[in-house]
Amino acid sequence: MNIGFVGLGIMGSPMAANLVKAGHTVTGYDLGAERVERLAGLGGKGAASVVDAVAGADVVITMLPDSPQVEEVAPLVVEYGRPNLLYVDMSTIRPETSREVARRAAAAGVRALDAPVSGGERGAIDGTLSIMVGGATEDVEAARPVLGSLGTTVVHVGPAGAGQTVKAANQLVVGGVYGLVSEAIVLLEASGVDPVAGLDVLAAGLAGSRILDLKRHTMVRREFAPGFRIDLHHKDMGIAVAAAREAGVSLPLTGQIAQLMAAARAQGHGSLDHSALLKVIERLNG
């Protein structure tokens, strides 16, 4: 297919590269010219603007930081996309934003899906992302050949906006696990126990998780090169808290994790990986 891809950041760049590897013609745009050039070097095409990326595309994918960016780009996709265009927004944004994008797209004859992802930079590189998709069933099925090049788990979770609600649930769980792993490291070290050995045992038992598998050693070494930045997880926790308010439910642990993420950002760790939540727990303990 001809695919327009807007947003070639930490996640978007490897995702676009995987689409090229799968044989699609991918025309990419990003505010960073070097990212566009990198895609072109991998066999894709560079676009000079969002409109340039959208023109002639069968499918348009956006992978943007937050709701305001999607609200800026989506109208251009809808206006300049070809009839019956399939527009897949893979950003993590507010569910209500996705619902509004879908409503406006439908009015213009564009098929819109919200399809946020989980799996981090490693999953984007390996093409093993978990993709939660909201939208009409027939549109989800039309998108599967493309999404299958990006992830190993592609699940239709409901109508427009449902993908974003599931992603909010994902982020509150991920944030909670990072918080607990951070506390486990602090406890082990303060007790004179080797945290590497301790976490190795935890990872093999009921406490095991993808986060322990991928991040326990880098966390013990205090290596926080960003795969997913604190700044973005702070934004996502705001989405989770707002979704809980809209649904009328109380999520007390989610509120605590949101505050810890806010503290990490306030302490100047926003550009670090979200595993840097450990730095906040350490600071609480002097």
Q: Where are the domains of the chain?
A: 2-160, 165-284
The encoded tokens of residue 65 equal 């930081």
What whole-number distance in Å separates Cα of residue 219 and Cα of residue 231? 18
Architecture of domain 165-284: Orthogonal Bundle (1.10)
Q: How confident is the model at residue 104 (pLDDT cuts 50, 70, 90)?
A: very high
Segment 59-73, tens digit of pLDDT: 999 999 999 999 999
Q: How confident is the model at residue 245 (pLDDT cuts 50, 70, 90)?
A: very high
Average pLDDT over residues 210-239: 95
Nearest Cα to 63, choosing from 138, 121, 22? 121
Contact predicate 114/164, CB 8 Å: yes
DSSP string, 58-113: SEEEE--SSHHHHHHHHHHHHHHSPTT-EEEE-S---HHHHHHHHHHHHHTT-EEE
**Residue carrying structure tokens 């590497």:** 196
Percentage with pLDDT > 70 across the chain: 100
Average pLDDT over residues 166-195: 98
What whole-number distance in Å separates Cα of residue 197 and Cα of residue 190? 14
Active-site residue, selected from the candidate residues 167, 215, 235, 279: 167
Q: How confident is the model at residue 118 (pLDDT cuts 50, 70, 90)?
A: very high
**Residue carrying structure tokens 């399939």:** 86
Amino acid at 207: A
Q: How confident is the model at residue 109 (pLDDT cuts 50, 70, 90)?
A: very high
- Bridge partners (DSSP) of residue 149 are none
Position 227 pLDDT exceeds 90:
no
Amino acid at 22: A
167 has catalytic annotation: yes
Give the CATH class of 2-160: alpha beta
How far are the Cα atoms of 3, 67, 118, 232 from residue 93, in angstroms, in the given order?
Answer: 22, 5, 13, 10
How far are the Cα atoms of 12, 20, 214 from residue 43, in angstroms, in the given order?
Answer: 15, 7, 30
